[in-house]
Amino acid sequence: MLWSLAVSSDLPLPTEMPHWSAEDTKYALLASLIPGGTALAGAACYMTDKHSVEWWEKLRKPKWITPNVVKISSVVDVLSVAPIGYASYLCYKNGGGFDYNDTRLALALYGANIALVGTCIPLVKKKNLSCLSRNMWLVSGTAIAAAGAFYTIHKPAGYWMAPYCAWTLFYLFMVNSIKKENDPVKDL
């Protein structure tokens, strides 16, 4: 009865989710390796740079930041970043690939976010908290924008981005707190 009403009305029928194949699984895993591998490479690059580690350890930090924050944040980075590759593939697959502008925009935001994340390590190596802070504003903004764009295309893709968005916001707060602790005091 309900089906006959839907067929006879002018309302569009719901579209089906595209078929998921073994090839899709392969592409989804590969898409997850890109951000996950980038996070692992970044952590390894940072951990092996003695000067950056010493600089980071010497910075004044708020009391709530633990001494092992670098190790903990590296683990959380990898855990929160790997699912965004899967989310990007869900967006690509369910958004019709690059044939649609909304999918192109969503994936461009995602790509911009990954590129901005990649600039964090050089900024740490240059020991520039101001630029790192500005960069983290951009990282968080593009992460949230990409998550919103993914959500409008395919809700589960947006949900997969949520932990990463939360992590970038926390990291933004942490970097800005450290920057505030280390900014020179200005007399008025």
83-137 pLDDT, tens per residue? 999 999 999 988 888 888 899 999 999 999 999 988 888 888 888 899 999 999 9
Task: Please say whether the beta carbons of 85 and 175 come within 8 A.
Answer: no
- Tell whether the model's pLDDT for residue 13 goes beyond 50: no
- Tell whether the model's pLDDT for residue 186 goes beyond 80: no
Extended beta strands in the chain, E state: none
Task: Please say whether the beta carbons of 157 and 151 come within 8 A.
Answer: yes
Instruction: Give pLDDT tens digits for 26-64.
Output: 888 888 888 888 777 777 777 788 888 888 888 888 888
Q: What is the mean pLDDT of the chain?
A: 83
Domain range summary for the chain, segments of one domain joined by + = 23-56+66-179
The proportion of the chain whose per-residue pLDDT surpasses 70, expressed as a percent, equals: 88
Higher-pLDDT residue of 166, 33: 166
Question: Domain 23-56+66-179 classified CATH 1.10.10?
Answer: no
pLDDT score recorded for residue 14:
40
Q: Within a 10 A sphere around the Cβ of 83, how many other Cβ atoms?
A: 19
Higher-pLDDT residue of 10, 46: 46
pLDDT score recorded for residue 160:
94
d(CA 86, CA 95): 14
pLDDT score recorded for residue 2:
38
Highest-scoring range by mean pLDDT, 12-26, 47-61, 159-173: 159-173
End-to-end CA separation in angstroms for the chain: 76
pTM of the model: 0.81
